[in-house]
Structure formats: C-alpha cells, structure tokens
Chain A
Amino acid sequence: MRIFLAEWRKLRRPTLFLGSMGAVIAVTALIVSLLFLLIDSDTGNAERGMRITREVLALSSGITIGFSNSAGLLGLVALCVFAAQTAQEYTYGTLRNLLVREPRRIRLLLGKYLAMSIFALISVIISAITSVALAFALSGTAKVETAAWQTAQARMDLIETFGNVLISTIGYGTIGMVLGLVLRSPISSISIGVGWLLVVESIVSIAWSPSADWMPGSLLGVVAAGGSPLGVSETLSYTEALMRVSALLLVAALATLFTFRRRDVAS
C-alpha cells in the first residue's frame, strides 16, 4: 500500500494526470465524432476504411463501438505513461532512493504496476463516459436510432466492452513497463514501443498475414474488440487472442522481473 501511494503521488501531478486525461478525451472524441459524422462517407467511418452503418450503430452494441475503436489509442497513451514512469527512475537516478526505502524489488515493481493500472482504469472510465455522452449527442445529427442503447442488453454490452478495453489498455501498459525496465530510457522505450505497435506490426502483418495472430498489438486489438470482426485478425477468437497475449506478456514480464531483481543499480 505504501508503494502504491508513493507512486500515486507521482502520477497525480497535474501536468501528467490532466495532460493524459486530456489526451484520452481528445482521442475518444475524435474517434466517436468520425464514426458518427462520416457515417455516409464512401471512404468509411472507422479504422482501415471500414464502414459502420446506421443499422449497426442502432443495435444495443452500437453504443460501445466508438469506445471500443478508441482502445488502440488509449493503449498507446497507457504504454507511454507506463514506460515513462518506469524508465525515468533510471534517467533521474531516483531508483536508488526508492530501493533504499523499499529494498524488496519485486514488491516495489508490483506496487508501481498497481498504481499505473489504476491510472489506466481512470483513463478507460473517462473514455467510456466521453464516448457514450458523445454518441448520444451526435446520434441526432447522424440520424441513428438510440432506443436499443437504453436497454439492459446495451448496459451488458457496455460493461463487457469496458472490461475488454481495460484489459487491452493494461496490456499495452505492461508492454510499456517491460520496455522501460529493459531499455531504461523513456524516449527509447516509448519510441520503440509505439514504432513497433504502429509500424513494424503492420508491415510484418502485410508481408506475412499469419504473424498477426501472434503480434501483441494485433492480439490486444482483438481483445479490445471482443473478438468481433472489428478486430485486426479475422480468424482468431476472443479467447484465443486473450490467452495468447496473456502468455506473451506473462513471459515478458517474468523475464523482466527476474532481471530487475538481480540487476545491479549503478546509475
């Protein structure tokens, strides 16, 4: 609890907290606005030129589509925060202060991870509220029927999507934390993480399509979309994607934890 509260003191500073939450609101608002305002566009209104029709949006699950589509960018925000908060302990030299006050290294990392996961949870809550509010606000302009959005089924869909987006966001954050611990530099870990997820995975997937079923970014996309066709992979089920990405992240996290526990702190 002490470690969590100490980390939270760093995360709650206004420039970081308000800046990150502002980015979350902006990203969500952009995606939901494009979804509704470009509903009649021939070039599509969702990722990769996909077209989501009025009829699909009018379903009970329609209320969650904008939120679910924001998951990738929410994930990138989480990756940046987790990576920067972890790697900065090396660049500022503050890790030695932390380890003198809490020498149990695994416990220290788990406390930091918990605090950053709560930060991710708050960002997902804010994204969900923004996307739902904006969907209702824009439904009139886009002429989308909203009766199904107010049913019990819609609430169930929203809760399910919330869980999936949260898993995906924390997954991206875990990648950021692993990179931060391995590379020990915020700039390197963020640039390599974002570059991999946005560029390298896409190129590799285009060159060899089955690779998408094993790439962490693609797998997290499937999880965030609840395994629906809106996900990157069209062949992988939600459960398979969740299990694969969990296994990948668990192996990476355990290897990193083991290294961190043994590594000399000489900076």
Chain B
Amino acid sequence: MSAISVTGLTKRYGDLIAVNGATFEVPIGTICGFVGPNGSGKTTTIRMLLSLIEPTSGTGQILDEPISHPERYLAKVGAMIEGPAFYPALSGAENLRVLATLGGYPHSRVPELIDLVGLSGRGGDKYKTYSLGMKQRLGIAAALLPNPKLLILDEPTNGLDPAGIQEIRDLLSNLAKQGVTVFVSSHLLSEIEMISEYLVMLRKGEVIFFGKTIDLLHRSRPIIVARPASSSDLLKLKNLVDAAGHPATIDGDVLKVDAGDDWSADLNRLAFENNILLRQLTPVRPNLEETFFEMTEER
C-alpha cells in the first residue's frame, strides 16, 4: 500500500500548465523528499493532494482513498502548506485549539505538541509576537494535531536556525520510525538528502524522477577532481585526459574529469608518465544538490 499514489495528475490555468501528468508513488512509512525549482508545481501538487485545488485531469489516492473524497482521508493527514498561517490576535495554543475543535481532536494534545515543537512557555503568547522560526514550529504542531498517518510539509525548516533544523530533522526521523509517512518539500537539498529515503523530483510541472534517493545518486555521473602541483600543467593534463576518452573541464586550479572512481589509478599513472605531479586526486560522487542541478538544468 502506498501513502500517496497519483497518476497523470494535471492542473491547467488557461494556457499555463502548472502540473503536467504527474505520476508517482510514496511508499508508506518512509520520508519522501519533494524537490524542484521554484514554480515547478510542488505546491500546486500538494494542494491537489489536499483537495484545495481541483485537478484538471488525473487521479490520485491518499492512504488508499481517492483524492476526490478528501473527507475520507484528511482526518488522518497533517499538513503545512506554503508556510504557517494562523490568526494573529489569538495565542499559539488558542490557534491550535481552534483547529483541534474543528477536527474533533482532544485539546490535551495542544500542550503536548507545544512542548514537542519547542514552544514551551510561549504557547500563551499571541501568534503575532512570534518569530518566523516560532511560527514555523507552530505550523508543524498544527500538522501533528491529528496524530497523522501521513504528514505533508511544505518547506518546514524555513526560518529555523541550524539547531532548529536539526530538531525538526530528528522529529521527522522519529515520526517515520513510528510508521508515519512524511512527504516533505524543501529547497534545502542537503537536508532532504540527509533524511529522505525516497524522492520525487519535479521540473516545469513534470515528474522527472521518483524512487529511492540512493538510486538517483547512483544514476548521476561521478567525477574525479585532479589538481596538478603546477597550474601550468592543467591544460596539458586536460588534453591527455580528453585523448584517453574522458571529457574534462578546467575549474579554477583543478581539472574535473568525467569518470568513475575506478579510473583514478589510470589517471594517476597517465599524469606520472607525462611528468605531471598531482597534488590532489579525489573521486567525487555528486550530492543531491549537484544531481538536482544537473537534472533540472537550473545552474
């Protein structure tokens, strides 16, 4: 069973296609990152999953219920979409009580969640006095109110300091260990790489990858970074490497060679035989950010 499963999900606004035939699945009990450049359709997709926007075409299921019947699944879903949104004149705790009352959840969860997200002692203060990081924490608390089976978070670490980001990362990992599926969009790709087992990647409204994060990283091309002791040898080394069938580019005082780490020894020998002394020879597997830029051609 998938927590989220969509097929051909499309949203058009006149001639503009915000999301085009999105098809992906998010396995239950995993943390799944949802990444893509600004305007790629992430928030529109999330809004369709939550029935805030009606898809132009396509189908979807959340926790085995069709997205055309949100009343069947939303009670088991927690969500924070496009940042926190609350009533400024009410306290943080009272804002949560409004949502707890509306959803029929026990009010006893409110102080528990206030503590859980690190707002202890500030729950009684008016929301308008909160910092951005505190608002973000309250948004996460609101998403956790229903004790969700699926948690959908749009940029949950916006405005948080490094310690706050670490806390949220630990919180999401703990929730996943308890069987909660977490579907999280973020522009902090290093965060996503650290916590996400699965990934859905969007570009210009289209899904360009969905699956295990490790599979995506293995799919991307590894490189070898070589730094000659003398920068005057850079061009000579590049010509040798090119001639050996491995395209290379000069980047500052290093040469980036399009080759796997198994060619490192060959490169070392090639340099030695041509009297080039290497100061650095490092095989590098691109991280998610580099893979993301490569796939979305955003750089």
Interface residues of A (CB under 8 A from B): 2-3, 5-6, 9-10, 13, 15-16, 88, 92-94, 96-104, 262, 264-266
Contacts and interface: CB of A to CB of B under 8 A. Distances in A.
A96 B102 contact: no
A15 B89 contact: yes
Contacts of A104: 71
11 contacts: A2-B101, A6-B101, A15-B89, A92-B88, A94-B85, A94-B86, A96-B52, A97-B85, A103-B71, A104-B71, A264-B53
B87 A92 contact: yes
Contacts of B50: 96, 99-100
Contact of B94 (A9, A92, A101): A9
B97 interface: yes
B90 interface: yes
Given A13-B89, A104-B71, 13 more contacts: A2-B102, A10-B87, A13-B90, A13-B94, A93-B85, A96-B47, A99-B52, A102-B103, A262-B54, A264-B53, A264-B54, A265-B52, A266-B53
B52 A6 contact: no
B142 interface: yes
Given A100-B74, A103-B74, A266-B53, A3 B102 contact: yes
B71 A101 contact: no
A97 B82 CA distance: 11
Task: List the 10 shortest-distance A-B pairs measured between CB atoms, nearest first.
Answer: A93-B85, A6-B102, A103-B70, A265-B52, A101-B103, A6-B101, A264-B53, A101-B102, A5-B101, A9-B98
B51 interface: yes
B96 to A, nearest CB: 10
Contact of A10 (B51, B52, B98): B98
B86 A92 contact: yes
Interface string B70-86: 11001001010111011
A97 B99 contact: yes
Contacts of B142: 97
Interface of B: 47, 50-54, 70-71, 74, 77, 79, 81-83, 85-90, 94, 97-99, 101-104, 142, 146
A2 B71 CA distance: 15
B68 to A, nearest CB: 11
Contacts of B90: 9-10, 13
B209 to A, nearest CB: 26
A102 B70 CA distance: 9
Contacts of B70: 103
B98 A6 contact: yes
A94 B87 contact: yes
B97 A9 contact: yes
Nearest to B83: A93
Nearest to A102: B102
Contacts of A93: 82-83, 85
A30 to B, nearest CB: 27
A238 to B, nearest CB: 39
A265 B146 CA distance: 22
A181 to B, nearest CB: 16
A101 B96 CA distance: 12
A222 B172 CA distance: 60
Contacts of B79: 100
A103 B146 CA distance: 14
A3 B103 CA distance: 8
A202 to B, nearest CB: 34
A96 B85 contact: yes
Contacts of B54: 262, 264
A142 to B, nearest CB: 41
A109 B53 CA distance: 18
B99 A96 contact: no
Contact of A98 (B81, B94, B102): B102
A13 B54 CA distance: 34
Nearest to B103: A101
A264 B86 CA distance: 20
A265 to B, nearest CB: 4
A100 B85 contact: no
A266 B70 CA distance: 17
Contacts of A6: 98-99, 101-102
Nearest to B69: A103
B281 to A, nearest CB: 52
A10 B87 CA distance: 9
A165 to B, nearest CB: 29
A9 B71 contact: no
* Residue among A92, A104, A266 with max Cβ neighbours from chain B (10 Å): A266
A2 B100 CA distance: 9
Contact of A101 (B74, B82, B83, B86): B74
A253 to B, nearest CB: 22
B137 to A, nearest CB: 15
Contacts of A16: 89
A92 B102 contact: no
A74 to B, nearest CB: 23
A96 to B, nearest CB: 6
A4 B120 CA distance: 29
